[in-house]
Amino acid sequence: MPKFLMTVRSNATPGKDEDYNRWYDEFHVPELLMTPTLVAAQRFRISDVSPADYPGYVKPEFRYLTVYEIESESLEHTREVLWAPSNIARIRKSDAFDSSRVDCSLYMPLGPRVMER
C-alpha cells in the first residue's frame, strides 16, 4: 500500500508549552491515530542549534513539528476521512494549542527511500 506523510508545524499558546506537550502526547496524537489511514506519528521540537547563516535563511516561526505516516491508496481518501465532521468532532481541543497559525501539508513520495550504506 502506498505510504504518504502529513506534517503539522505549530506552536503552543504563549506560556503554555507544558500543557501543549501533555495534550499533544496524551490526547491529540492518540486520537488522531484512531483515524483510518494514519498509522504512526512522531513529534519534534526545534533544536537550540541553528543552521549556519546563509543567504536567504529565514528563522523558523514554528517550534513544534509532528510527522504522521499515512497508508492509503489515495491522499484524497485520507483527506476526506481525516477532515470529516464526525472525525473532527471526536478530537479533543486545547487552549494550549495556538490555532491562529498552523502549517499542515500532505506529501507523496518523489523517489525511493535512500539509506546510508
- 13 part of a folded domain: yes
Beta-bridge partner residues of 3: 71
- 117 part of a folded domain: no
Q: What is the pLDDT of residue 38?
A: 97
To 10 degrees, the CA torsion angle through 91, 84, 33, 37?
180
* Residue span of the structural domain in which 37 resides: 3-48+60-107
Cα 72 to Cα 2, 20, 65, distances in angstroms: 6, 29, 22
- 11 part of a folded domain: yes
Q: What is the CATH number of the domain that holds 27?
A: 3.30.70.100
Closest among 31, 41, 36, 21 to 96, alpha carbons compared = 21
Residue 37 burial by Cβ neighbours in a 10 Å radius (0-12, 13-18, 19+): buried
Unique residue bearing C-alpha cell 526545534: 46
- 53 part of a folded domain: no
Q: Identify the three-state secondary structure at position 8.
A: strand
What's the structural domain count of the chain?
A: 1
- 27 part of a folded domain: yes
The model's pTM is 0.91
- Weakly modelled stretches of the chain, pLDDT under 50: none
Measured between alpha carbons, how far is 85 from 71 in angstroms, rounded to an integer?
A: 21
> Are 63 and 11 within 8 A, CB to CB?
yes
Q: What is the pLDDT of residue 67?
A: 98
- 54 part of a folded domain: no
- 25 part of a folded domain: yes
